Amino acid sequence: MAAAAEIPTARSASKPESSKVRVLCYEFDLEKDVIGKGAYGEVYKATVVGPPGNNMNQIDGAQGSFVALKRTFCADKEEGIPASTIREIMVLNEIVKSTRDVAGPGSPALFGSENVVKLYDVVVEKYMVYMASEYCEAGDLSCYLNALPLRRLTDGRLYRQWMRDLLSGLCFLHRKEFSHRDLKPQNLVLKAVPPGTQSPRVNCDGEPKRGPRAPSQYVLKITDFGLSRVEGIPVKKYQHESVTLWYRSPDVLLGNTNYNYTVDLWSAGCIIAEVASGKALFHGGNNLEQLKCIFALLGLPTGANFPSMKQYALYKDFFNGVNGIQLGQNGNDGKGSNGYSDWLEGAKRKLHYYFTRCGSMDMVGNDGVDLVARLLAYEPDRRITAEEALQHPFFCILSRGISSPRRHNFPQVTAAAEAGGQKKDLLLLGKKNAVARPPHRPLSAVLAQNRHRPPAQPREGEVAEAEAGAPNRARVVVNTPTPSAGVRRG
């Protein structure tokens, strides 16, 4: 590492006029190249100034290209590297390995992988860890939206494209049994695609997708896996505070610590609504306020539309009758409705009114309202999976869209289906804090061929409810089966 001595590192820099740092083959300016800061440390736009080496993941463009270099400090010498950093490295490492183990570039197993940020390299320095990952020029989705005049998208095709990217990334993660657990606009980034570039993506059925990306020339990617988990690996019970407050599902707000990737589906529904409206769908200041915001907009919870709620640790704290949350009677709003099917129709009416007030109903459409409502089901097992969401009619407007040439239509919940669902819900009640894992069915048999009804206008009395709402360094090889096998001294 003789080249490393030519440019001072962060700790060895003695000239105040020089703020450039070089870490192995990455060079960045401590002042000019900052693209993000947080409790974890900083993220820099770094330039690849030397050969990356044989053991690292291939960088797009190699020497002279840019990477996002995340620098994390080890605040406690005894504790060492933060658990969130180790977790993020582990998850991204597994993602890299899973993409290398497929048959070829057209394999259905790769579907959605382009919508997850790539990890290139990990460098361990005394008291610091550097993670080199894919650099996304347009920044995060939150900053992008805040720079727009209305703080929201107004192009319907672009809206569908990016929301499809979000669900495609989730589909890939969930198929590999990863749950992100902290989805929000700040953790979605936009990568530029050269104009006219042929998309390398494949659809859910493994069919190649042809033609250039339209019209934004950006692909949306999921990033920041510091809170992620691998399903099926025994760990301590999850903290219910994991997901950022505004994007937490009701079961997590009520203290569910045994959840799975259904939390990502709720967050995705919130994001799809926010990108269209320009504001967070639910914005409470604490767990109680957040629950009230949710139930004010989507309808009151009952044993029929949220059968597992009484099993969660904080249920009695929030539904205590004193400044607590009101329960519905026999349905979502206490007006004689029956269970999930009527809750779904009521939620769609209120969301229709919400998007109309925001001026975005023309872009979202009835299909978009239906999609958001199905992602925001109170009962975790009721939320449609990412695979099912990608087959929703909302995305069929995209030319050669995510679905195969056939059109999958979503059925209304019939009385028979509702009865079957209630039986399954009763089984859930017998297992404390148990949330059934949503099935990933073959896409050719996702749902029956029945057309869903468009939501009607809000009924009288629902409008007010809807309105409420130089030290020693080591490079860690990314693709290694064991941590110890991946350390190389510089």
Residues with a catalytic annotation lie at 182
How many CA atoms within 13 Å lie on the side-chain side of 140? 16
Separation between Cα atoms, residue 170 and residue 334, nearest integer Å: 35
Separation between Cα atoms, residue 266 and residue 306, nearest integer Å: 14
Burial 109-120 (b: 16+ CB within 10 A, else e): bbbbbbbbbbbb
Strand partners, 27: 22, 47
Burial 256-275 (b: 16+ CB within 10 A, else e): bebbbbbbbbbbbbbbbbbb
Query: What is the sign of the dihedral through the CA atoms of 347, 348, 350 and 355?
Result: positive
DSSP annotation of 103 reads: S
- Residue 307 makes CB contacts below 8 A (sequence gap 6+) with 379, 422, 425, 426, 428, 429
Separation between Cα atoms, residue 102 and residue 439, nearest integer Å: 22
AA identity, residue 54 = N
Coil, strand or helix: which one is 200? coil
CB 436 within 8 A of CB 400: no
Separation between Cα atoms, residue 308 and residue 212, nearest integer Å: 46
Separation between Cα atoms, residue 132 and residue 92, nearest integer Å: 11
Closest C-alpha to 115, from 202, 38, 36, 211: 202
Coil, strand or helix: which one is 208? strand
